[in-house]
A and B are shown apart, each in its own frame.
Chain A
Amino acid sequence: ETGVTQSPTHLIKTRGQQVTLRCSSQSGHNTVSWYQQALGQGPQFIFQYYREEENGRGNFPPRFSGLQFPNYSSELNVNALELDDSALYLCASSGRLAGGRLDTQYFGPGTRLTVL
């Protein structure tokens, strides 16, 4: 148990719809990162939030957006869903080391999104 929770566990949407995924970070962690893991692949970095601000983004289009709240929980929003968005979405929470370096990331169980 990492203390990182995600909801929902599974979700089915149709192409063109919008979806919001949620993540509660581990107590004491101020950074949340989101990853997309397609079937049979390693996780791909979507973006990271640190103290409620976006702090880095991977190669994902603007229809992928996020929020971080004062309690450091986070949301991932995806607009205009496409079939290729079907994947396991993982969030990871972490703290910061001296100098701002990212500490170890602890992952939630993921949300399985299926787009039909």
Chain B
Amino acid sequence: AQSVTQLGSHVSVSEGALVLLRCNYSSSVPPYLFWYVQYPNQGLQLLLKYTSAATLVKGINGFEAEFKKSETSFHLTKPSAHMSDAAEYFCAVSERSQDMRFGAGTRLTVKP
């Protein structure tokens, strides 16, 4: 069965610092992996996705993630945090044709 674990429910960084949000997955088949961002009182916006092509995936707003099969990880990074990056971030895994399983989310705070 597919599942996702996001390590760290809250992450705080200073503006300009590296952002690292951790995600580990479990899947019985080659997974598709996603990162979504959610701003307060809004829906989910797709940041990036991995669908078995290049293992380093670049997304919007300067974010990227690397698929590491040996570590079953798909961590999200951004070299330099901006105040507008403050939001909730969700990692999700999809195996086949049905549901997408989400992690519990990581709230990113960016300090000035």
Chain B residues contacting A42 (CB-CB under 8 Å) are 90, 102-105
Q: Report whether over half of chain B's contact residues are helix, strand or loop; otherwise say mixed.
A: strand
| Residues of chain A from 30 to 89 with CB closer than 8 A to chain B in the complex | 33, 35, 40-45, 48, 50, 55-56, 58
Q: B-side interface residues toward A, CB under 8 Å? A: 32, 34, 36, 41-46, 49, 90, 94, 96-105
Q: Report how many residues on chain A are interfacial, defined by Cβ distance under 8 Å.
A: 30
25 contacting pairs across A/B (C-beta < 8 A): A2-B43, A6-B43, A33-B99, A35-B102, A42-B102, A42-B103, A42-B105, A45-B100, A48-B98, A48-B99, A55-B98, A56-B97, A100-B97, A102-B32, A102-B98, A102-B100, A104-B34, A104-B46, A105-B94, A106-B46, A107-B44, A107-B45, A108-B43, A109-B43, A110-B43
In the complex, how many angstroms separate the beta carbon of A8 from the nearest chain B beta carbon?
A: 14
Docked Cα-Cα span, A2 to B96, in Å, equals: 22
Chain A residues contacting B97 (CB-CB under 8 Å) are 50, 55-56, 96, 100-102
In the complex, how many angstroms separate the beta carbon of B99 from the nearest chain A beta carbon?
A: 4
Chain B residues contacting A102 (CB-CB under 8 Å) are 32, 94, 96-98, 100
**Contact between B46 and A109 (Cβ–Cβ < 8 Å)?**
no
Contacts A33-B99, A56-B99, A109-B43 aside, 15 further interface pairs with beta carbons under 8 A come to A4-B43, A6-B43, A40-B105, A41-B104, A41-B105, A42-B103, A43-B90, A44-B102, A45-B99, A101-B96, A101-B97, A102-B97, A102-B100, A106-B46, A107-B45
